[in-house]
Every structure is written in C-alpha cells, then in structure tokens.
Amino acid sequence: MNVDGKDVVGFCSNDYLGLADHPVIKQAMIDAIALYGTGSGAAHLVNGHSIVHHQLEEELAEFTGYPRALLFSTGYMANLGLCQALLDKNDFVFEDRLNHASLIDGGLITGARFQRYLHNDVASLEKKLIQVTRSMDAETLVLTDGVFSMDGDIADLPALTSLCEKFNSWLMVDDAHGFGTLGETGKGCLQHFALDRNDVPVYMATFGKAMGTAGAFIAGSDDLIETVIQKARTYIYTTAMPAAIAEATRCSLKIVQNEPEHLQNLNNNIAYFKHCCIETAIPASTSQTAIQPLLLGKDETAVKISEQLFDRGLLVTAIRPPTVPEGTSRLRITLSAKHSHDHINQLIEALSQSFKQNQ
C-alpha cells in the first residue's frame, strides 16, 4: 500500500484471499460497466434488479446449500433488515456480547426484548432462554458472528444449533469473516463444523472481505427470503448494488471454487505467523483464523507500537475502545493469501523490536 506517499505492507485489511486486486475480477467488473453502466438506477423492487443480480443470488444459494439467497448493499444493511423483518416488540432476541455492531443495532432496532449472553458461552445463553416466558406467538432469535471480528475466534456453532433446536429458537449466523476463509472449500463456518441449512436457518455473509468486492447476502428458505423481501426496509428502500459489482462477485465466487490455492496460501500464512510468534515469544492469541490480535491493554501502548510499525514500513491499525472493551486495546493483525513469508518475517522482526522498546 501507499499511505501519504510512504510505501507500506498492510496487515490490517479484510481482503483475506487477496482477490480485491485479482486481474480477472477487475476485468469482469470493467466489462460489466461497459454493458450495464456504473449504477443500477433504482431499488431491486423497481427496476434495479438485473439478470446478473439474479444469477449471483442463484449461484450463492447453490454454493451455500440454501434454497434462496437475497442480495443487500452492505452487511450492515442485511443485518438490520433481517432483524426488522422477523421481529417485533413481542419477540425476544439474544446476542453474543462481542457481536458486531450491526447485529447489536439490528436487535435493538426491532424493539424486541433484547439480552446479551457471555461471549461464546452457550451455558450463559441457556440460562437466559430458560428464564424467558414466551407467549405462543412470540419468536426467539439468537444472533451470533461466525468469526468474531476483533478476536478471530469462532462461535461454538454445534452447541448453539443444539440449544436453539431444544428451545425452538431461530439461529442466525453472520459469517462475514468466515465466508471464503473457513471450511475445506471456503464455504465458511458451516462447512468448518459440518453443519447445513437445517442447523442454521438464517445465514448471512459479505463480499467485502474474502470475496474482494462489496455487498452482502442472506441465505435461507423460500419463506424466509420472501418475508425479508416484503418487510426489510433496508432492502426495499435503497438502490440496488451496481450490476458491475454483482458480476465481479460472480467471478470471485468462481475463483473461490476453482482456484483453491488462494485459501491454501492463507492457511499456510496463518500457520507460519503463529509458528513465528512462538519462536520469538510474541504473545499471539489462540485464534486459528486470519484475524490474529495482539492484546496490549493500554490505548497508548497500542497506538505507540502501531506508529513504530508504520515507521518500519508496516500498516497495522491500533484498535481501541469503544470498538473493544476497556483495557483490551490491541493490534488487529490480519493475514492475506497475498502475504509472503518475507512480509511476515518483516512484521515479526518489527514487533520484536517494538516490544523490546516498550518493556
């Protein structure tokens, strides 16, 4: 990357597979602009929904194993729209304490009775579900990230699916950081745990991370998707994503399916980074994903080390409250398939020097 005229190696992007700069995807978008223009011109339900939007939805449904998929302009809008479509003030929503802001806001915007359970603690959720007295027509929705964006840990989906089945609750998984990066062929958290649509009735993922484009989708049953189409205000009352982005995403999806080397490179880099941390006594987290946070505690320490890394040609953003809890400021290191071992060696050496300077 080049930041204010300075060349740096970025270790904070969500472009996990390195597809945002893939020449074939770029050309697919350029060709689609020539054919469809730069904008969709209207909402999906007016005349903004093109043939390539429809084709992408069908291909996403097939890839994820759900009957239907529905496109949204952003993951934030998908989460808000899904919650608003399914819940009202008579219902209940339960969320992991470290869920992404869009899930939290989605739960709050509904007016439903809202509770948060301890992070990745299924026993904590079960206690709250037991305490709930539900009327016959009330819905219960459990919302969780698949991969938690600041810590890189993975939700205990097998336990969550069993618990939601026991209490007859909906389960919705936001797989923004797992889609394309987890599972043998990049199908995300569900493939990672050998789960399917019967275990997770509502699935959301984004394109702005591993897929290298922009936008999001919700996958589910015919009834679910029809309900969201008719009720989700963030779908009904906004302009559809440009057809060129949809076409670029179709190309990206094909590459994920046909070029496994990108995922293999990413997994190799994750393993190499963790090995280097052990060898140099850098306090790595237990995360097994592309998100590798280094918890530093104080805000000033995180900012200072981030600045030192930048001086050494590395871009690693310091993450501070309110994004993370007080006392857990960190460097959120993210790895990509496009990083080389030399890049990682450069990062490890710079981190080691900074830790010595700040002891």
Q: What are the pLDDT digits (tens) for 233-274?
A: 999 999 999 999 999 999 999 999 999 999 999 999 999 999
Residue carrying structure tokens 């290298």: 212
Q: What percent of the chain has pLDDT over 70?
A: 98
H/E run at residue 145: strand 140-145
Find the mean pLDDT for residues 6-32. 97
Check whether 132 has a pLDDT greater than 90.
no
pLDDT > 70? residue 135: no
**HSE of 271, CA atoms in CB hemisphere, 13 A:** 6
Identify the three-state secondary structure at position 152.
Answer: coil
Q: What is the pLDDT of residues 270-304, one digit of tens each?
A: 999 999 999 999 998 999 999 999 999 999 999 99
pTM: 0.95
pLDDT band at 356 (very low <50, low <70, confident <90, very high): confident
- DSSP line for 249-289: HHHHHHHHHH-THHHHHHHHHHHHHHHHHHHHT----S--S
